[in-house]
Amino acid sequence: MSICASARGAVQTRCTTPMTCLPSRLPSSLCVAVLSLLLCPALFSAEPPWLEVHSTHFTVITDAGEKKGREVALRFEQMRAVFALTLGKERLNQSVPLTILAFKNDKSYFQVAPLRQGQPIDVPGFFLPGDDQDFIVLNLSEDEPWRAVAHDFAGMLLSFNYPPAQGWFDEGLAEYFSSIRVDNRTVEIGGDPELRPSLNEDLLGNQRETNPPKSLTELLGAQVWLPLPDLFAMKHDTSTRNQGTHHTLYYAESWIVMHYLLHEKKLPETGTYFNLVLNQHVPVEDAIQQAYGMSSAQLEQAVKNYFHSQTALLTALDSARQTNSNAASLADPSQMYRFPAPVGPDDTVITTKALPEADERALYAEVEIRIPERRDVGLQALHALASAPTASDKKFESKKEERRPGEDPDLLPTNAIGSPLAHRILAWDHIQHGEFDDSTTEIADAIALNQRDMWLRYYMSVLKYRVAQAKHTDIQGLPNMMLELRAVLEWYPEMADAYDLLGVARNEGGSTPAAMQAEHAAINLSPRNELYTYHLAQIYVASKKWDAAQVLLDRLNASSNPQTVALARELIERAGAERKYGIPLGGTPQSKLAPQKSPFDVLEEDAAKRAAADNSAAAPGDHRPAKFVKGRLESVDCTQAPAAILTVTANGTVMKLRAPNFKSLVLIGADDFSCDWHDRQVTVNYKPGGSTNGDVVSLEMR
C-alpha cells in the first residue's frame, strides 16, 4: 500500500529509509504523518474538483484545475480582442451570455459531445447556440482546443456586431479567423485554416471526399474559380458546408476574398457595398463598381493576384508548422499577420471560486438536453437533482418556520427541494417546448430556493410573452414584467432579448416612444435578429409611422426565412388597412383570461401582507397609503439600534427613511439586514410623512 493510501486509511507503516525520517527514534505513526506531508500535499491543499472561473467577458466551468481554467479564460479574451481588431471596433457586444465548459479528459467530454453515426464527434470542441445563452464545450486533453470553435466563435461575435451581410462575407471572415493561434505573447492569424470536417458535417453524417485537398491554398490553385458576382449572389446555407467540391470552393474563395479585403483595408468599401445591395437593392455588378471603384472582373483579378502573391508564404508557413521549424519567423511580418497579443496574462482580471457539485452536474445536464441525442439522459439527471434534498432545502424549511401567525403558508411552494439550478434549467426547457404550466411550477420552486437568481426573472418574462403568443391574449402582469426586465438589464446590460421583451411590453402598455427606445437598443446589440426588426415595425405601425414601418417590412419580406416573410406580409396587410381606413384591422379575437400570478407576483403579495401585519402591530391607527420608490441606498445609520435610518437617493431627491426595528424588517432579495449596506439599488415600500420622510415597510435589494 502506498504512503498516501496508508495516510488516508490511517494505516501505520514503518519507515524503511532512515534519511527520510530523522531522528530515527521517531514513532512510526509520526513518520507516516511526516511522509504524508512531504509526499501527499494534495491531502491538505487539494483543489476543488470543479471551479467557476470569471474573466471580463466569459465564465469558464472546469475540472482541470485553476491554471487550466485561467488559460481558457485568457485565450477567449485574447480571441475576442483579436476579433475586435479585425473588424476595427473599439468594443464588442456580447448580446447572449456565453458559458465555457472545459473538461480535463476525454471521458467527460465524449459523454456529452454530439454524436455522428453513433460515435462522439472527433473535434476537441463544439459550440451550442441558444435563445437564452450560448455554450462552448472543450476537451482540454487536446492541444489548443479553442481553435476547434474559433470559426463558430467568430460567427457568434459577427452576428452581434455587424449588420446583415452576404454569406461569402460571414464565412470568409470566419474561415480567416479560424486560422488563429495565440499564446501569452503572440498572435498569428491569416494562415491557411486546415480543411478538416466541420461540426455541421459531423452532425449531418455527410460523406467526405476520397482525396480531399490538404489546404484551401491547394484547392484554390487547382480549381477554376467561381465568377465573383456568382460568389457574392450565392445563397448561404450552412447545412451544405463541405458536402462537395463546389461548396468547399465557395468557402475557400470566400476566405481569400476576405483575406484580400482585410489586407487591403477595404472593410469601409465593403460596408458601402452591402448598403447598396441589401438596403438599396442595387444589382451586384453595379454595387461592386460603386463601392470598390472597379468592375467585378477587375476586383476578381485583384484577388487572384493577391492570392498568387501569398501562395508561397502560406505554403511555407504550413510546412514550417508540420516540421516545427522556425520558417515562420523569416516571413515578412507585414504579410504574415503576426503581432503581440492585445491581451496578456497581466491585462485581464480573472477570479476563481469553487463550484458546488450539484451545480456542476446540473450544468453538464443542461448541455446534454440541448443536444437531441443526449436529451433523455440530461433530463433524467436534472429531475434527479431537482428532487434530491440539499443543504439549501434545510435553510428554506427554517425560513418557513419564521412565518408569523396568520400569514398564508401557501404564498410560496412548501415542497421546494433539490437544486435550484436544476429547477431553473428545467423551467427553460419547458418554456422551449411550450409546456407553460410545468415551467411555472419549476420557476416557483427555483425562486423558493434562490430568489436572487436573475435568470428566473428573465425566464418569467419570456414565459409571459410566450403564453400570450400561444393563447392570442394580452401579456399578463405587464407592469411587473417590465420591472423584472429592468432588473435583468441592470444585471446583464447587453442582453438584447431583455430589451426586445421590454420593447414589446411597453408597446402593449401604450408607451410607444419608450418601446422604440428599448427595441432600438435590442437591434443595436443584435442587428441580425429579424424578430427584433419585426417588433420595431409593429411599434412603428402602432405609432402610425407608416414610412418607417414600410422600410423595415420590405426588408423582412425579402428574408430567406419563410416564417419571417409570413409575419411581414401579415403586418403589411394590417398596416395598409389601418392607414387607409384609420382603424386597426380586425384580427383574431383575443381570449380574455383571468390574470395569472407569477411567482414574483406572489413574492410581492407576500411582502405586502407582511408589511400590513407589521404596520398594524406598530401603528394600529396608521392609515397612510403605502408608496414605493426605486433608487440607490446610499448608507444605513444604525446608531439608534434597533431603529435604522436609510438614506435613499431617487430621481435626484435624497430621502431619509426610518425602519423602527431592522431586525423585523421585511426583506426581499436578502437574508439578513446589514448596517454596512451602501451604494445598492433598492426598492422601498414606505409610509410617507414624518421628520424622516417616511417609515420603511419593506426593502427589496436589487
Same domain as 579, residue 651: no
C-alpha closest to that of 464 among 499, 493, 502, 426: 502
pLDDT above 60: residue 1: no
Which of these ranges, 256-260, 330-334, 357-361, 620-624, has the smallest mean pLDDT? 330-334
Question: In the predicted model, what is the mean pLDDT of residues 619-643?
Answer: 78
Q: Is the pLDDT higher at 667 or at 378?
A: 378
For residue 40, name the pLDDT band (cuts at 50, 70, 90): very low
Averaged confidence pLDDT in the chain: 81
Q: How far is 692 from 655, CA to CA, in rounded Å?
A: 8
**pLDDT at residue 689 in the model:** 76
Question: In the predicted model, what is the mean pLDDT of residues 630-635?
Answer: 90
Q: What percentage of residues in the chain have a pLDDT greater than 70?
A: 75
pLDDT above 60: residue 603: no
Q: For residue 622, give the DSSP letter.
A: -
For residue 602, name the pLDDT band (cuts at 50, 70, 90): low
**pLDDT at residue 690 in the model:** 60
Same domain as 55, residue 36: no
Same domain as 211, residue 164: yes
Q: CATH number of the domain at 676, please.
A: 2.40.50.140
Q: How far is 181 from 147, CA to CA, in rounded Å?
A: 7
In terms of phi and psi (left: phi > 0; alpha: psi -120 to 50; beta: otherwise), the region of 193 is: beta
pLDDT above 80: residue 30: no
Identity (one letter) of the amino acid at 491?
W
Structural domain includes residue 323: yes
In terms of phi and psi (left: phi > 0; alpha: psi -120 to 50; beta: otherwise), the region of 344 is: beta
Structural domain includes residue 446: no
Q: What are phi and psi of 282, to 5 degrees?
A: -80, 140
Same domain as 272, residue 145: yes
Same domain as 171, residue 122: yes
**pLDDT at residue 569 in the model:** 94
Q: What are phi and psi of 639, to 5 degrees?
A: -65, -20
- Domain closes at, from 584, 607, 636: 584
pLDDT digits over 194-203, tens only? 654 444 444 4
- Domain closes at, from 310, 340, 370: 340
Q: Is the pLDDT higher at 318 or at 532?
A: 532
**pLDDT at residue 589 in the model:** 39
pLDDT above 80: residue 626: no
For 6, 9, 39, 59, the CA distances from 14, given in Å and listed in that order, are: 11, 15, 15, 48
C-alpha closest to that of 61 among 366, 370, 474, 460: 366
Same domain as 115, residue 167: yes
* E-strand stretches of 533-638: 627-637
Identity (one letter) of the amino acid at 441?
T
**pLDDT at residue 39 in the model:** 44
Structural domain includes residue 321: yes
Number of H-type helices and E-type strands within the chain: 28, 17
Same domain as 483, residue 335: no
Question: In the predicted model, what is the mean pLDDT of residues 105-124?
Answer: 92
Question: In the predicted model, what is the mean pLDDT of residues 102-128?
Answer: 93
Same domain as 680, residue 659: yes
Structural domain includes residue 309: yes
Structural domain includes residue 69: yes
Same domain as 128, residue 265: yes
For residue 299, name the pLDDT band (cuts at 50, 70, 90): very high
pLDDT above 90: residue 700: no
Question: In the predicted model, what is the mean pLDDT of residues 296-320?
Answer: 83
Structural domain includes residue 589: no
Same domain as 62, residue 8: no
C-alpha closest to that of 168 among 259, 75, 35: 259
Same domain as 199, residue 61: yes
H or E element, residue 334? helix 333-336
C-alpha closest to that of 572 among 521, 559, 499: 559
**pLDDT at residue 546 in the model:** 92
What range defines the domain where residue 233 resides? Answer: 51-340
pLDDT above 60: residue 612: no
**pLDDT at residue 118 in the model:** 87
For residue 660, name the pLDDT band (cuts at 50, 70, 90): confident
pLDDT digits over 478-492, tens only? 888 999 999 999 999
Structural domain includes residue 201: yes
pLDDT above 70: residue 600: no
**Report for 339-343, 458-462, 578-582, 625-629: range of highest mean pLDDT:** 458-462
Q: What percentage of residues in the chain have a pLDDT greater than 90?
A: 55
Identity (one letter) of the amino acid at 245?
T
Task: Specify the pTM.
Answer: 0.74
Which of these ranges, 27-31, 289-293, 451-455, has the smallest mean pLDDT? 27-31
Structural domain includes residue 215: yes
- Domain closes at, from 340, 366, 389: 340
**pLDDT at residue 205 in the model:** 41
For residue 315, name the pLDDT band (cuts at 50, 70, 90): low
> In total, how many domains does the chain have?
4
C-alpha closest to that of 297 among 247, 246, 231: 231
Q: CATH number of the domain at 285, please.
A: 1.10.390
Same domain as 325, residue 185: yes
Q: CATH number of the domain at 485, please.
A: 1.25.40.10
In this structure, how many other beta carbons lie within 10 angstroms of the beta carbon of residue 619?
13
